[in-house]
Structure 1
Amino acid sequence: MQARQLKHLLTATAITAAAVMGGAVPAAATPNADPLAPITTAASSLASGDSVAPQGITTQTLIAARNAGFPIYEAIQDVVVNATKMGTTYATEYRRVYEIDALNSPTTKFVGVGATAPDRFAVVHQGLEPIVVNVRPPATPQPYQRLTYDATPQTWWNSPLVQIPDGGPSVGIALVR
């Protein structure tokens, strides 16, 4: 008798487990994933010194990042900061994107993690990638010098870019310190 009850118990357990597993499959298939997962994964790899491209970023990811309070910066232009016979130093100007409609514009975007950069700034392309503000022509022009700026203590370190599907912008993650 006990063997028969054990058999019924095991059968009922197997049916219940199959029903639970079968019921879990449609729930897992629904788009219920964390939309910020690509941001947090890329941010943690940048913080640890690895600069991998953020995978899985969509326009919805950018919107979720904006809604969660992550600053989003867009590249405006590259400018020549200094030019000599030895070479040229460039800076990329950025502005913070506040408008939700501007998130899918074709300009390169970066989701900022870490500290918050100024609303408008430039990043000088050299070893430390310093963040500078007030880019302007020099007060007293010097040979080969094109622009001057005010330095900030902040630095910018960005991940490689990925292209958002369906014609969206190139997007990366930027660690601001």
Structure 2
Amino acid sequence: MAVSSSNKPGGDDNNNPPYKIGEDVYVTGTLIWYLHICPREVWLMSRHIIPYQDHERLEYGRAVHKVHTEDTFLILEGMRVDIYKKDTGVVVEVKCSSKHLESARAQLSYYLYRLKDAGVNAIGVVRVPDEGVEERVEVVDEEKVLKDVERVKEIVSSDNPPKKVRIKYCKKCAYKDFCWTG
């Protein structure tokens, strides 16, 4: 997969936005989220290598989203915001657990950056409904977002996945068998 690169902040030599990877291929919020959990998953997902779909955590996540999201989502190239309240300018990212709040903040910051780039000023909220957690995310550190975007682009453009590194999340990961069997 070809990745555009440039020394120009905010895009490449062809005036593509920094979050564009290739023809109709964009850095997604999901890839930003996984970057902060396991970079290897970024590579696997970018190759459309699908995790075990009947994994209980994936099923739980789908159920939480089905119950706690609305028909007020917002879509831009490569991203889909769970809930967008146009009247208040609030973007909500729904998560199943507060274990990955750092990743959720990074994902939401990416969404806020993309929305700002599209001319929409918004405030973000990470919501973990089953735990009663709701955290506001207002300030977007563009430099940090762009570093995340560049890191995702590096991983995606690599011919090989990042090396396996056993982390605390491996035990419950839907890719566990892919990484650790054989």
TM-score strictly above 0.5 = no
Instruction: Please give the TM-score of this superposition, normalised by the length of structure 2.
Output: 0.22
Higher relative helix content = 2
Instruction: Please give the TM-score of this superposition, normalised by the length of structure 1.
Output: 0.22
Higher relative strand content = 1
